[in-house]
Structures are given as structure tokens and as C-alpha cells.
A and B are shown apart, each in its own frame.
Chain A
């Protein structure tokens, strides 16, 4: 983190919007994330979480507003560009290839190779060793890095994907619903990795629809609804009950409650 002004967030958006054809998916979102901080992006289905994530990860360029990397405006050409800038994303589908060994998945798209041009060959032994070491560093105890990643459990696969993002991302890790498909215990394991990543000085963007998973690890919470921001809150400024109510649409939920009571 040396050489970077600590007061400037690593990643920041100012008034960002995204339009797909005639669909306005996101309007006027402003937020930021700094090193050693967890920003939680909360919202119900269709709130715009995924769109914001895609803008941050370089999958789709933003339509309006500004995206700032270390305080300077950028425009990502694609996921590779964002990755090169130190922004790694763990997508909901984990971006893994089930039939390939764990170590090949770990280094997919960023393989270590020796030699020049067409004659470069993979450093297989080194990649196996790094995969093993990185996983055990995160407390992931894997039987065999040569087994197809499809044979691992859901939590294990999620953990490998996060460990990969941390190893390569280095600065910002974006997690898309990392706990939503998991049981209580497995979700707890993943939340520990999130905390570990934060303690290692990474900026974490944690996208979820579950405030109970977000609240324990989050430092700040951005709540989205129908493509717009309902506000950004510090942990000190909001309790979990309020967060839940806000996410579910607040007033809408109250109306619904009254309706159901009457009938």
C-alpha cells in the first residue's frame, strides 16, 4: 500500500448510472471503498447490485458519471483491464471450470509460464505449490489440488475463488453474493475469509441481499432499491433492524404488513 495516499479511496464512483438500451438499470450512485475497509452493497433482487458490480469489475462500462481509481477517472475496457488495475471479482458462479483441477482453476487466465513467446511452458510445479500454500494460508485445508474443482463442496469452491481473487487482486476484492447459496456454517467460514482479507489491507466490496451476513463484517452499507441509492450508512449510524427494514423497501413493507393483518 506504500506510495498511495491513504485518504484517497482506492475505488470511487460519483453519480454513476447505467442504461441498457431503454432500461435504466442504475442512476446516480456515489460511493467509495478504501484499503482495509468493507463496503457492503445491499438490496433486494433487481435493486441494481449486479449492475453496480459489473461497472466496478469492468464487465460493462458505465453510461454516466465517473469511476475513479486512486482518485483518477478511468474507464475499463473489460474485466482484464479491471484485473490489471488490481480489482478482482468473485462472481456468483465463481468463474470456475468444474472439470479442471483446482490448481489450473486457481491460475486460469493468469498462468505462470517460463520461456518466450510460443515456446513458453507452464510452471506446473510452482503453480501447484502456490495454490496449496495460498489455500492453507487462508485456512482452507484441501485434500488434493489435482482433483477437479467440481468435486469440492460449495463452501470450499467459494473459498478457493476468494483465495484466488485475493492472491491476484491484491487491492480490491468484489464479492457477489458469496454466502447466498451456503448453509449457516459454510457462510460463517466465508465471512471469516472476508474479515481476513480486510485485515490484510484489502478493500472489500461485499454484494449481498442478506443484512445478517453483511452487518458483522461491514464498515459501511450502501442500500440500493430499483436502481437508485437509498443512502449510505456507517456501521455506527445504523442498526441491523433498520438496515433490514430499509432493504425490504421500508414503507412498502409497512403497507404490506397492514394489508396482511387486515385480511
Chain B
């Protein structure tokens, strides 16, 4: 026996481990690139404009980042699991419109309407997931279809019910003030009037991070996105987990739908359309691999922070708004290149 086994590993350090500098080690984390970029953009706009660092300015870009952030975190979890959800943006509109229509047009109880909208969102998410899992059709296509269906239903349905392309009059619904306190209030913190959605964003990011790194579900998500076959072989409940991820983005869509509904008390039928790619960009800028199996929730939240800062920073700097899209494209390309090198470094020899 003794001749068979080589000397056991010495405890502590190993001479074959090239002493990795703590900084180098930190830089290998998926969200580091986004953190560096966020700091750079923050510094730039802080110096270049007066409004950016003002209490009102800070509250504005944080609010803007929070709505994208909640979605980006959910989309990042799905992307780590190896899938896309293009219907996530339209879902924020659908849920808001549903609650608006149920309460203002049909006199439904606010809480019941919200619960019903959540259940419908979860059902759509589950339908996305079941279709992907059962048929093997890429989620890109399945959710593209769902996206168009939701977009059409949002517009046509709203017009049919109200004769307009928006639902108004939410403030007259009983209990609206209570809902507003939960989803649309403003909380003063250190002289900043922060929208409550910012705290939802932080909470969701913390929850997602804990799920990904400290629970078995997280392990399964990374495994499913990293190597589906291996996850199947090791007995991971693959179907359940994947369907759950699609339901997760749908639930996040509901939350964001509620946050915007109670903030402004009106819902446009076009709410959320065109934002599905912003979520994906935020997730990728935050370190998610498009191929799955790698990424972080904190990274996605930072990606959304970057987006929020640029979105409002451009306004404060009085640039042409259209520069935003060019910025976004550049950031995405840069992030993908950085991620590619990460994947190479992690040495995917298999």
C-alpha cells in the first residue's frame, strides 16, 4: 500500500502553486472587471458633471440602475444555467398592465390582482422552461416567440380594454397607498431620497448571490450551464432546476412591473419592450459567459449600475442621448473579450 501511494500533500502551501498575488487572485473573480469599469465611470461623471454627485442626481441613477439590476440579476442566474430569456422585458409590462386592468377596469381587489398577475407570470415562465426542457429548442427561440406574443397581447389587449395604449387611474384603486409604500415609496438615507426599488435591488442581489454560491441550487445551476450531461449523470434534478430559472426571471419581471406601476401609477403598453437585451448586456458586462456555467449575481448588479450611471450621466453631461447605445455596444464587446480570456485561463481542456 505504502509503495502505491505517493507522499500525501503537505498541509499549507505547495511549492507547485506559483505564489498568486492576492490582487491577481481577486482579479480572477467574475465581477472584478465590472467593478473596475463601474469605478472608472463613476469617477468620470463625478468630475465631468456637477449634477451626477448631487443628492438628487445620485438618487436618479441609482433608481434607474435598480430596475435594470433586479432583472439583470435574474437573467444572470438563467444565463449561468445556460439559457436566455428574451421575454423578460415584455413581462415587466405584462404584469403591470394585468394589475392595472384587473383593478381599474374590473374592480378587482388590488392584492388579489397582484397575486393573480404573479401566478400568470410564473405560468408563462414555466411554459418557457417546459418548452425548452421538453423539446430541446434553444431558449433564444422559445423566449423570442414569448416576447412577441407578450408584446402583441400587451398592446392589443390594452387597446381593447381601455381604448388607449396605457392604463391610468391606479391612484383611485383602494389600498393603492399601501402598495405604494411597499413598491413605490422614497426612503431618506444620509440626505439622499432613495426609491424603495434600490433596496429591493440590493436584497435581490444578495439573495441571488447566496443562492448561487452557498446553496445546492447554485451548484446545480453552475453545473447545468457548464456541462449539462455531467449534471444529468451526477443525478442533479436538471429539469426542475431549469424550469425554476425561467420562473425566476418571470417573477423578477413581476417585481419590476410592480415597482414601476406603483412609482408612476400608470402603465404604458410598451413598457419593457427593447430592454431584454439590456439585461443580457448587464449580465455579460458583469462577467457572465454567454455559453453558461460562469458568472455572478453581484457582477450583473454592477453591470446594471454601470448602465444606470451611463444612462443618467449622459443626460447630466448634456450629450446626445444616442451615444448611450454606442457606449453599450462597446462595453459589451469589451466584456465579451475579457470573459473569453477568463474562460481560456480557467483552462477548459475538456
Contacts and interface: CB of A to CB of B under 8 A. Distances in A.
Contacts of A110: 234-235
B226 A99 contact: yes
Contacts of B134: none
B269 interface: no
Given A98-B348, A122-B218, A132-B9, 7 more contacts: A79-B233, A95-B234, A100-B219, A100-B222, A108-B234, A150-B347, A192-B4
A141 B6 CA distance: 8
Question: What 7 A-B pairs come out closest when comparing CB atoms?
Answer: A139-B5, A109-B234, A95-B233, A97-B226, A80-B235, A151-B347, A111-B216
Interface in B184-224: 210, 214-216, 218-220, 222-223
Contacts of B14: 143-144
Contacts of A45: none
B346 A139 contact: no
B117 to A, nearest CB: 23
B21 interface: no
A160 interface: no
B17 A109 contact: no
A191 B229 CA distance: 26
Contacts of A99: 222, 226, 293-294, 343, 346, 348
B24 to A, nearest CB: 14
B7 A83 contact: no
10 contacts: A83-B235, A93-B230, A93-B350, A96-B350, A98-B346, A98-B350, A113-B215, A113-B216, A121-B214, A139-B4
Contact of B229 (A93, A148, A157, A199): A93
Interface residues of B, number: 37
Interface in B290-331: 293-294
B226 A141 contact: no
Contact of A144 (B17, B218, B222, B232): B17
B292 to A, nearest CB: 9
Given A99-B226, A143-B17, A108 B219 contact: yes
A97 B9 contact: no
A150 B214 contact: no
A104 interface: yes
A60 B220 CA distance: 23
A120 interface: yes
Interface of B: 1, 4-9, 14, 16-17, 210, 214-216, 218-220, 222-223, 226-227, 229-236, 293-294, 343, 346-350
A148 B287 CA distance: 16
A2 to B, nearest CB: 23
B349 A98 contact: yes
B219 A141 contact: no
Contacts of A122: 214-216, 218-219
A85 interface: no
A49 interface: no
Contact of B232 (A79, A104, A132, A141): A79
A109 B226 contact: no
Interface string A31-75: 000000000000000000000000000000000000000000000
Contact of B226 (A79, A98, A107, A142): A98
A196 B4 contact: yes
A92 to B, nearest CB: 11
Interface in A70-94: 78-80, 83, 89, 91, 93-94
A231 B223 CA distance: 40
A96 B227 contact: yes
A97 B7 contact: no
A136 interface: yes
A99 to B, nearest CB: 5
B223 A108 contact: yes
B323 to A, nearest CB: 35
B349 A109 contact: no
A91 B226 contact: no
B336 to A, nearest CB: 16
B348 to A, nearest CB: 5
B235 A100 contact: no
Given A110-B235, A143-B16, A97 B214 contact: no
Contacts of A195: 4
A98 B227 contact: yes
Contact of A109 (B210, B222, B231): B231
Interface string A130-163: 0010001011011110001011000001000000
A196 B110 CA distance: 66
Contacts of B233: 79, 89, 91, 93, 95
A124 interface: yes
Contacts of A192: 4
B158 to A, nearest CB: 36
Q: Which of B7, B219, B234: most chain A CB closer than 10 A?
A: B234
Contacts of B235: 78-80, 83, 109-110
A110 B229 CA distance: 16
A148 B230 contact: no
A168 to B, nearest CB: 9
A144 to B, nearest CB: 6
